[in-house]
Amino acid sequence: MKEQINEQLGLLEKELSRLKEVTDYIDETKKNAQEVIKTLESIQSNYSTYTEKIFTTCSNSIEQLKKETELSIKEGVLSFDSTGNKIDQTNREKLIETKKLLENYRKTVEATDNLVKTLEAVDFPSRLDAIEGKVKVNRILLIITIVIGIGAILVPILL
């Protein structure tokens, strides 16, 4: 019977070890997700700076073209407006995608937090006490069964 208890405790220890590995993996994933979020926020911040620089460059180019000729002004303005709109549209699309990615990573971090909280909420001492109680009851039942079995064998022999 002790062997069964030791075996069960060994199995429980193995499960706890696996749970530790999962918790460590979740913690590492959470850490990585937070780093990705920080990196994406930095990228988004730099993206706005680059966009402003692009628009500044376009504006300066338009002013230079105004000085050269009337025809170049019209063609340049149309060309830069079209390019600016395309860049603006592309930038908006990229910003929307970046925001979606950030939201997904935030959800991942929240889900990871919830999973860690759930794992931490498991009351392993109570569960072990319950298992130990069941083992004791089974042991008593086994002893009673053996005694009844021996009695059933001995009664016909003694009579």
pLDDT single digits (tens) 34-49? 998 888 888 887 877 8
What per-residue confidence (pLDDT) applies to 65? 65
pLDDT at 72: 65
Over residues 91-119, the mean pLDDT reads 89
**Alpha-carbon gap, residue 119 to 9, rounded angstroms:** 20
CB < 8 Å & 24+ apart, contacts of 23-29: 23/116, 23/119, 26/112, 26/115, 26/116, 26/119, 27/116, 29/108, 29/112
Q: In this structure, are residues 52 and 148 in contact, taking their beta carbons and an 8 Å threshold?
A: no
Tokens for 126? 């109570």
Q: How many Å is the Cα radius of gyration of the chain?
A: 36
Whether the CB-CB separation of 26 and 112 falls below 8 Å is answered with: yes
Report which of residues 76 and 44 the model is more confident about.
44
Does 95 score more than 80 pLDDT?
A: yes
* pTM given for the model: 0.32
